Amino acid sequence: MKFVDTVKRAGRNLREAKIRTLLTSLAIGVGAFTITLSLAAGSGGRSFVEELVSANTNPRAVYVQPKQDSSIPGAPGAGGVQEYSDAPSVSYGGGFQLTLMKESDIAAISNIENVERVDPIYNLNAKYVTAEGQKKYQAGLNTYDESITLEYAAGTGDDLANNEIIVSEDYLKPLGFTDASSAIGKSIAVAVDNPLGVEKLFNFTVAAVSKKSDLAVSGSSDLTINGTASKTVYEYSEQGTPLEKAYMGATVITSSEDAVSTVQSTLKDQGYMADTAEDLMSTIFTFVNVLQGILLGFGALAILTSIFGIINTQYISVLERTSQIGLMKALGMRNRDIGRLFRYEAAWIGFLGGAIGAGFAVVLGMVANPYITDALDLGKTRLLEFHVWQAASVIIGLMVVAVLAGIFPSRKASKLDPIEALRTE
Amino acid sequence: MIEVKNVTKAYGKKQHEFIALDDVSLAIDKGRSVAVIGKSGSGKSTLMHIMSGLDHPKSGSVLIDGQNIFELKQKQIDTFRAEKIGFIFQSFFLEGNETVADNVSLPLEIAHVPRSQRKERIQKALESVELSDKAKNKARNLSGGQRQRLVIARAIVNNPSIIFADEPTGNLDSQTGAKIEDLLFGLNKERGVTLVIVTHDDELAAKCDVQIRIKDGTIQSIDYAKELGDTSNKAKEGEPA
Ligand SMILES: Nc1ncnc2c1ncn2[C@@H]1O[C@H](COP(=O)(O)OP(=O)(O)OP(=O)(O)O)[C@@H](O)[C@H]1O
Ligand SMILES: [Mg+2]
């Protein structure tokens, strides 16, 4: 019997036992549904992470921190008493210290080949922000980072001068501006305390008003100033402390993306902790993948159960059609073709189950996507990302599984003795 | 030419053994029409199944055109049955849920007849049993006589060179029965199809070239009716069932 004829007959046979076929398919459908959804959530999650990371990091950047003493005092296996080191550090008490980066580290790193520049990370603390005739407000202060995508309501934050500042639109009203464009060019003051509690006002001109971004993690901070201004503010606030001219870390900008990995390994050789944007991404990817793996496991379990359903259904189908099998054998149908007929039936069941499950998953996903996005505040991102090839491979995979499950019953069919089979009515 | 040589068929094992055919030998020339007559349970169907290679004898051989069919590979037997033999089984074995046309199509599909030729052949076969108007009906909805005719259409659609028919007119009224007989004998006369008809019906048997009578698994007589000559094997008490 030819392929098309066999497939058609197999399909017709199934239609005779509609309910049985449907129920068996539904069991597979549950697995297909779960798997399709978990694949969609996986791709959605990964592309969300990718967007998130690329909106907040620079692919040419390596994030450097000094190596920390890995031993925590009191922890089992810890070295106990630690030798005093002259290096600047922050003490958190109990002997727990955070080693900091010195100016000499920054200079050394700048000399590494392919390093374009090194931006120390300034831990800025503004006491308050105010404008003439307005009240004082608390505000977060950050250093401008070109790799963080900002959206502006007015002006632009590119080429920020040393005395310029980016203000979040939340601060327009409190600082006495009617709208974003009217704030541009106006002066505001940021107060900073030195370690002795002496307050100093730094005056800035508003260069841009930033909008809230769905993706930016730190980019939508209240106030943003450039690196030089940050250095000035930081040095004032830390003068005379061990933190003066010492930093939690630094961002190393390499000359090209290709240079990132060599610079990273050089930094590691020199005893720094160095992470690239990609490292960050893969760390978060691991979480997404683990979650997806758990979901996939449930799907696989559902499919495992449905395998027994297929075997059972097909076995009954063989018994029911014993005389039909006998007739086909008597008419000269090859044993191989009889077996194939039943395996194609199983494939049909797999296809049906896969299509039902994947179809439901896609429809549900389409409907649920906007709600999920809303609930999780993801902006334009869709958490469930469906790909045709994924749904197709789920269906094809299930057809293969179904055919494998159908091997046992189909072998029984092909081994029937035609005479015995013809005697059964 | 079909030659059956010393065929013995036993069912069951050892003390429960039942000899359904006992040292049966006969020969059927190409293009003959042969009636196999005997009481119920005498072994007619068993003989037909063995002659067509569906069942295997305990001993003995069946030669078709000089070739012992039990020495062929399974694939060759399958091809031989698909291309050369038409079967009309005592129980019809129709696919009740499939259409009349799909039932007739089955032997063609098994014999790998290209799709383009099938439709016409199915149409012709159904016409010859006067079932054309039922082509699209489900086989389950046919009357007993219509089913019998459908089975015949399925047996002849392949243009077989041998037709084995187990009670082909058993369920038909005399008028329709006569039509089917005409059809089968027509194929026999015009296309030289060898006919092997198992029947209780003496009238139908009388229309055949040869009458083989069996009783309790042994050949009682082989009558070469009409002008065929050799009647040496005639027996005395071959009575119809
Ligand atoms: N599988 C089997 N096991 C045991 N005995 C069997 C088996 N098949 C057939 N027989 C016996 O063999 C004998 C011949 O059976 P067969 O079907 O050939 O009879 P038949 O001549 O075609 O009868 P009918 O006219 O009623 O169809 C019967 O006695 C039957 O009971
Ligand atoms: Mg019989």
Contact B110 A330 (CB under 8 A): no
pLDDT at B226 over 70: no
- The verdict on B241 touching A (C-beta cutoff 8 Å) is no
Q: From the alpha carbon of B46, which atom of ligand 1 is closest?
A: 18
* Stated pTM of the model: 0.69
CA B208–ligand 1 middle distance (angstroms) = 24
- Quick one: tokens of A421? 């089979």
Question: CB neighbours of A18 closer than 8 A, spacing ≥ 6?
Answer: none
User: Minimal Cα–Cα distance from A318 to chain B, Å?
Assistant: 14
Return the pLDDT at A218.
Answer: 52
Contact B109 A2 (CB under 8 A): yes
pLDDT at B183 over 70: yes
Return the pLDDT at A271.
Answer: 85
Please name the residue of chain B whose CA is at the shortest distance from the CA of residue A17: B97
- The verdict on B87 touching A (C-beta cutoff 8 Å) is yes
pLDDT at B235 over 50: no
User: Minimal Cα–Cα distance from B230 to chain A, Å?
Assistant: 34
Return the pLDDT at B229.
Answer: 46
Share of chain B above pLDDT 70, in %: 93
d(CA B168, CA B180): 8
Q: Among B81, B89, B115, whose Cβ lies nearest the Cβ of A332?
A: B81
Please name the residue of chain B whose CA is at the shortest distance from the CA of residue A325: B93
Instruction: List, for residues B21-65, the tens digit of each pLDDT value.
Output: 999 999 999 999 999 999 989 999 999 999 998 899 999 999 999
Contact B110 A425 (CB under 8 A): no
Q: Among B55, B75, B107, whose Cβ lies nearest the Cβ of A331?
A: B107
Q: Among A334, A337, A418, whose Cβ lies nearest the Cβ of B54?
A: A418
Q: From the alpha carbon of B42, which atom of ligand 1 is closest?
A: 21
- The verdict on B106 touching A (C-beta cutoff 8 Å) is yes
Q: Are A180 and A172 in contact (CB under 8 A)?
A: yes
Q: What kind and span of H or E run contains B196?
A: strand B194-199
For chain B, give the mean pLDDT. Answer: 88
Return the pLDDT at B169.
Answer: 83
Please name the residue of chain A whose CA is at the shortest distance from the CA of residue B75: A334
The pairs formed by A3-10 with CB atoms below 8 angstroms and a separation of 24 or more are A4/B115, A5/B109, A6/A337, A6/A340, A6/A341, A6/A344, A7/A344, A7/A348, A9/A341, A9/B109, A10/A341, A10/A342, A10/A344, A10/A345, A10/A347, A10/A348
Question: CB neighbours of A376 closer than 8 A, spacing ≥ 6?
Answer: A383
Return the pLDDT at B49.
Answer: 92
Burial class for B227, CB neighbours closer than 10 Å (0-12, 13-18, 19+): exposed
Q: Among A1, A323, A419, whose Cβ lies nearest the Cβ of B93?
A: A323
Please name the residue of chain B whose CA is at the shortest distance from the CA of residue A2: B112
CA A340–ligand 2 middle distance (angstroms) = 31
User: What does each of the 425 residues of chain A score in pLDDT, given as a tens digit?
Assistant: 778 888 888 888 888 788 888 899 998 999 999 999 999 988 888 888 888 777 777 788 888 888 776 554 444 444 556 666 666 666 666 556 677 888 888 888 888 888 888 888 888 888 999 988 889 998 888 888 877 777 888 888 888 889 999 998 888 888 999 988 898 999 999 999 988 889 999 999 999 998 876 665 554 568 899 888 998 999 898 888 877 788 888 888 888 888 888 898 898 888 888 888 888 788 888 888 888 889 889 889 989 999 999 999 999 999 988 888 999 999 999 999 999 999 999 999 999 999 999 999 999 988 988 888 887 766 667 778 888 898 999 999 999 999 999 999 999 999 998 888 887 65
The predicted complex's ipTM stands at 0.86
Residues with CB under 6 A from ligand 1: B 11-12, 18, 20, 38, 40-46, 90
Return the pLDDT at A422.
Answer: 81
- The verdict on B116 touching A (C-beta cutoff 8 Å) is no
Query: Which has the closest alpha carbon to B153: B111, B196, B114, B123?
Result: B123
Residues of A in contact with B106 (CB under 8 A): 327-328, 331
**Mean pLDDT, residues B101-125 taken together:** 93
In one-letter notation, the amino acid at residue B227 is E
Q: Which of residues 53-82 of A touch B (CB under 8 A)?
A: none
- The verdict on A7 touching B (C-beta cutoff 8 Å) is no
Return the pLDDT at B236.
Answer: 39
Q: Are A205 and A186 in contact (CB under 8 A)?
A: yes
Return the pLDDT at B95.
Answer: 86
Contact A422 B80 (CB under 8 A): no
Q: Among A332, A335, A418, whose Cβ lies nearest the Cβ of B82?
A: A332
Contact B81 A330 (CB under 8 A): yes
Return the pLDDT at B9.
Answer: 94
Closest residue by Cα to atom 11, ligand 1, is: B20
- The verdict on A11 touching B (C-beta cutoff 8 Å) is no
Domains delineated in chain B: 30-45+73-235 (3.40.50.300)
